[in-house]
Chain A
Amino acid sequence: MKIEGKRSIWKDYQKEIATDRFFYVRSCVRQNFFPGSEKTFLRIMKDVLHKDVFENAAHTTCSGIGYHSDVVPFETAMTMVARQFSIMTESGYENFTTSCITSFGLYSEILETWHHFPEVEERVRQHLLNATGRTFLKPANLSHASDVFFKFRREIAENSTYRLVNRHTGQPLQVVEHIGCHYSKMFPSKGVGGAEYPYVLAGMIEDWGGEVIDYPERRHCCGFGFRQYLVQANRGYSLACSKKKFDSMAPYKPDFILTNCPGCPMFLDRWQYALSEMEGITYGANGLGIPVLTYEELAGMLLGYDPWDIGLQVHQVPVEPLLDKIGIPYDSRRKFLTMDGQLMGQPEPPSHLKFYQHE
């Protein structure tokens, strides 16, 4: 592997990312999947990077999940998105930042469509006006929230307490980065680093002290793929996709997987449990799984936030081995306590996948 080769490709895919005054839109599903992530994003943006990030409660789904599941037509999706833009315009912002990769993909697709077919944009404007009386300006800058952390990755590193280094060996942690398909596979120029060798997460890993693993099935989908999972009859397909990736990455002994999509961490995490129950396979060392993190969780961890405040207890694959490797302290007794100290319930131990015992 020649890293210079990748660097020369990365140079060709630089995108403009706004530096302040972000209109932030949340994902439909992330707060169920990994509830601490978006909160941690906002916390870091405000407390560490001192940025103006604005949210508007009138924001709804962009309908991307319905669009990609074949239940929402493009025409409807465009009008929904036009409404989000009008809310941004009303709020006095012009830098649109999405938490969700599929939203990011859909916004990119729609802006691209309008760019090539201005008559479609006009029609959508008319639809929105007829239905809601709203008008809008298009965003001056569209970025995914991981683009924003990529942009400020060095500032985050400077403020961090920990680095991606194994404290026992002093070696950099080996990290699998997994990019959501809708980030740049549709429009390579809209993603940091392009579609074949995206740099958005790799850049964070490098600057935060780790090393990136490039394994044969790196480009493959995590297995969510909407219809693959949403239709129960297709779930074997979803599982097979994830398995293909785990089988391919396992020989590299990754310390963890880093993701930037709502679905990927969910499926890469939960399917490790399903695979262990169905086939008795585990992919980490000694019967453990490979922890899966969102980039917000990772940034929060390195900044020294309490692991339970950023939501690491809801992971199916325990994250404690990774915390121990880095040397991040945590209180095991508080793992399943709510913010006000109540027991939130505790999962049953899996049959094969090991729960972690603090060393």
Chain B
Amino acid sequence: MNRQVAVIGAGITGMTAAGALSELGIDVILLEKEEHTGGHVKNWDRLFPSRRPAKEVLDFTGKSMATGVDIRCGSAVESIGHNKGIFTIRPVKGEPVNAMSVVLATGYDLFDARKKEEYGYGIYDNVITSAELETIFSEGKKLTTHQGTTPQRIGIIHCVGSRDEKVGNLYCSKVCCVTGVKQAIEIREMLPGCEVFSFYMDLRMYDRNFEELYFEAQQKWGVSFIRGRLSECAENPDHSLVLKTEDTLTGRPLKMTVDMMILLVGFVPSPETVRIARMLGLSSGPDGFLLPADEHFHDNTTTIPGLFLAGAVKGPACIVNSMADARATAMQVKSYLNGEMLK
């Protein structure tokens, strides 16, 4: 089957790119390995900093694809190659696709928190990740401990799998700080009697309205912030957890019992990103994410003409930035197909 453009990965980036391309009148196929589109965003309840429901963003993007995108779910890429400007993709099911251009939007995975052994994720009952908390929110369930009680105190742990040489990830995942602040507010909203403590190294409130959300968390919701990185966690007989950190602002070791601990897990390149990049011979940075042709001038293109990168394949990115990047990529693809590739 011949198409002008194939977009690989139907997360928010791939959906946005495919929708934009289709609106530009380009014949586009969207390949997704899972059974549904929506990627990580479909597992999220509300988005920072405005706390708009994630569903609104997906619905809007879904509509932009409704008129012309050929969406193929359950179609992981088995192989991909290119020859004389034509890309050939063999999905695990369905016929091979030939395309003039490919947009790689295979994104990221969340860091596997089990790798921070001393935090006890997967071992202690009341250690969950930020993604699991988001699932509880989006299913409209009440947040309870593993043993079914209402938590009285919750610890939110920043930088799990990010900025940590010990797990090989030196980079900052960018979105976790503000996610932690948002989730702290949401916990307080749901459980007014529950204290929330955030354990952080630095709070990186880099984007518009992030700092204001942090201010709101402190002023309106009484969330406490302790500047110290979690060194270890252990379980009490009643399944509550003992956290150990340095309270760096007093300069003393601190021990605190919490009923639950939320780990703000960072970004890692998705295995699909790594696998497809290897098949195409694309290069990646020391952080494992893919490198565009130039970080400033050609940040959506690669060394292979017609092959474009969009969104979190290039490193941690928030939804707003991923969507903007996807739209920029769509414009670049159109230029490429018109033979007017931006120099």
**B interface: dominant SS:** loop
Q: How far is the CB of A208 from chain B (nearest CB, A)?
A: 22
Stretch at the interface among A1-9, A54-62, A292-300, A341-349: A1-9
> Which residues of chain B have C-beta atoms less than 8 A from A197's C-beta?
117, 123
Stretch at the interface among A31-39, A88-96, A209-217, A280-288: A209-217
Report the bound CA distance from A85 to B200 in whole Å. Answer: 48
Closest to B242 in A: A216
Report the bound CA distance from A2 to B123 in whole Å. Answer: 5
| In the complex, A235 has a CB within 8 A of chain B | no
Contact, CB under 8 Å: B234 / A1: no
| In the complex, A194 has a CB within 8 A of chain B | yes
Q: A1-B125, A2-B125, A6-B123 are in contact. Are A218 and B234 (CB under 8 A)?
A: yes
Report the bound CA distance from A252 to B122 in whole Å. Answer: 22
Q: A197-B123, A252-B237 are in contact. Are A9 and B232 (CB under 8 A)?
A: no
| In the complex, A112 has a CB within 8 A of chain B | no
Contact, CB under 8 Å: B125 / A219: no
Give which listed residue, A2, A4, A196, A252, contacts B117 with CB less than 8 A. Answer: A196
The digit string for B221-264, where 1 denotes a CB below 8 A from any CB of A, is 00000000000101111010010000000000000000000000
> Which residues of chain A have C-beta atoms less than 8 A from B123's C-beta?
1-2, 5-6, 9, 197
Report the bound CA distance from A265 to B5 in whole Å. Answer: 69
Q: A196-B117, A219-B232 are in contact. Are A5 and B122 (CB under 8 A)?
A: yes
Chain B: interface residue total (CB-CB under 8 A): 16
| In the complex, A170 has a CB within 8 A of chain B | no
Chain A: interface residue total (CB-CB under 8 A): 19
| In the complex, A133 has a CB within 8 A of chain B | no
> Which residues of chain B have C-beta atoms less than 8 A from A252's C-beta?
237
Q: In A220-263, which residues have CB < 8 Å from any B CB? A: 251-252
Closest to B118 in A: A196
The digit string for B98-129, where 1 denotes a CB below 8 A from any CB of A, is 00000000000000001001101111110000
Q: A1-B123, A216-B242 are in contact. Are A9 and B234 (CB under 8 A)?
A: no
> Which residues of chain B have C-beta atoms less than 8 A from A5's C-beta?
114, 120-123
Q: A196-B117, A197-B117, A219-B232 are in contact. Are A8 and B237 (CB under 8 A)?
A: no
> Which residues of chain A have C-beta atoms less than 8 A from B234's C-beta?
214-219
Report the bound CA distance from A113 to B125 in whole Å. Answer: 39
Q: A215-B234, A216-B234, A216-B236 are in contact. Are A1 and B124 (CB under 8 A)?
A: yes
Contact, CB under 8 Å: A214 / B114: no
Q: How far is the CB of A352 from chain B (nearest CB, A)?
A: 25
> Which residues of chain A have C-beta atoms less than 8 A from B121's C-beta?
5
Contact, CB under 8 Å: A251 / B122: no
Q: A9-B117, A197-B117, A219-B232 are in contact. Are A2 and B237 (CB under 8 A)?
A: no
Most-contacted residue by chain A among B114, B117, B118, B242 (CB, 10 A):
B117
Q: How far is the CB of B98 from chain A (nearest CB, A)?
A: 42
Closest to A251 in B: B237
> Which residues of chain B have C-beta atoms less than 8 A from A6's C-beta?
123
Report the bound CA distance from A197 to B239 in whole Å. Answer: 17
Closest to B232 in A: A219
Give which listed residue, B122, B232, B239, B242, contacts A8 with CB less than 8 A. Answer: B122
12 residue pairs of the A-B complex, CB under 8 angstroms, read A2-B125, A5-B114, A9-B117, A194-B117, A196-B117, A196-B118, A197-B117, A216-B234, A216-B235, A218-B234, A219-B234, A251-B237
Which residues does B use to contact A, with CB under 8 Å? 114, 117-118, 120-125, 232, 234-237, 239, 242
In the A-B complex, the 8 residue pairs with the smallest Cβ-Cβ separation, listed nearest first, are: A5-B122, A5-B123, A216-B234, A196-B117, A216-B242, A251-B237, A196-B118, A2-B123
